[in-house]
Amino acid sequence: MIRPTKNSVTTRRDLLAGYGFISPWLIGFLILTLYPICASLYYSFCDYRVLSPPHWVGLRNYTELFTDKDYFLPSLWNTMFMFLELPIALALSVGIALLLNQKLKGMVFFRTLCYLPSVVPTVASAILWLWLLNPEYGLVNATLKMLHIPTTSWLQSPIWAKPAFIILDLWAVGGGIVIYLAALQGVPQHLYEAADLDGAGPWRKTWNITLPAISPVIFFNAILGIIATFQYFTQTFLLTNGGPANSTLFYALFLYQNAFQYFRMGYASAMAWVLFAITALATVIVFKSSARLVYYEGGDN
């Protein structure tokens, strides 16, 4: 038997070595992540213009934010609109993943094809879509014209700009497909064999076996999607900068403008914390409401 004292010395030494090895990350986390997060909470109660020290104004930034009917609510609404993308992206990526999961010859080629758009950096694909959606010369409108379907000015139209962003994002749905595909490969074969014996058709098998089996992955992707949607920024920053007429002024873009263009860092910090609260709330709601729809192997239900 090892003596307790020796044991604790070894443990402590291991512990120190462990911390020693992760210290580069730990120090980076404390200085570059944790401290700014805490500081931004403090700044959100301050009038802070970056160039001069912050001074305390209490809840002013928050009251101003909630009473701003011209920017805060529209930017939140614009962001909410983008949630339409989630179910579409989900259906599309699960659907394509199911197709790509068939055991056919040359499937590797199609899998690569579907994933390819996700390899293109966001900035490059955004610029590419700027051209595709160009009302004058764009391929999208040219195709619609050929099919005698009415065209629109997409990113230049206050009504169609947000749907245009949804289309743009759906193009890169391949990232999700790969994750679903991996999940599909993990579905136990014996379940399908049992279903075959019971005479179940392909629809029945998909609905009763495949989807429940990959539901944790769907759930995980949905949560990530919610968080990403609240932070929607890059595409609009590059392509529309909030326009036309604020129709693509998303919450994160408005936050950026306040922080870095108007030097209202206190106000922007308050915005960030409100966004954090909203995101956390939305995630909790989704967790509470859909947890029973998610099936975990070995779990109780």
Examine residue 135 and tell whether it contacts other proteins (CB under 8 A).
yes
Which two three-digit tokens encode residue 275? 């966004």
Residues numbered 248-267 forming contacts with other proteins, rule: CB under 8 A: 257, 260-264
The rounded distance, in Å, linking the Cα atoms of 200 and 230 is 41
What is d(CA 237, CA 5) in angstroms, rounded to the nearest whole number? 60
List 122, 134, 234, 290, residue binding other proteins (CB under 8 A): 134
Nearer to other proteins, 181 or 265 (CB): 265
Residue ranges of E strands in the chain: 46-47, 55-56
Please choose, from the candidates 296, 290, 300, the residue with its C-alpha nearest in 3D space to the C-alpha of residue 212: 296
The CB-of-37 to other proteins minimum distance in angstroms stands at 19
Q: Give the interface size with other proteins as a residue count (CB under 8 A).
A: 25
Check residue 162 for interaction with other proteins (CB under 8 A): no
Question: Among the candidate windows 1-9, 32-40, 43-51, 190-198, which touches other proteins by CB under 8 A?
Answer: 43-51
Choose one: 27-35, 44-52, 81-89, 269-277; the region binding other proteins (CB under 8 A).
44-52
- Interaction between residue 234 and other proteins (CB under 8 A): no
3-state secondary structure 13-74: HHHHHHHHHHHHHHHHHHHHHHHHHHHHHHHCCEECCCCCCCEECCCHHHHHHHCCCCCHHH
**How many angstroms separate the CA atoms of 228 and 233, rounded?**
9
Q: Binding other proteins by CB under 8 A: which of 25, 32, 104, 136?
A: 136
Residues at the contact surface with other proteins, assessed by CB under 8 A:
47, 49-52, 70, 134-137, 153, 155-158, 243-246, 257, 260-264
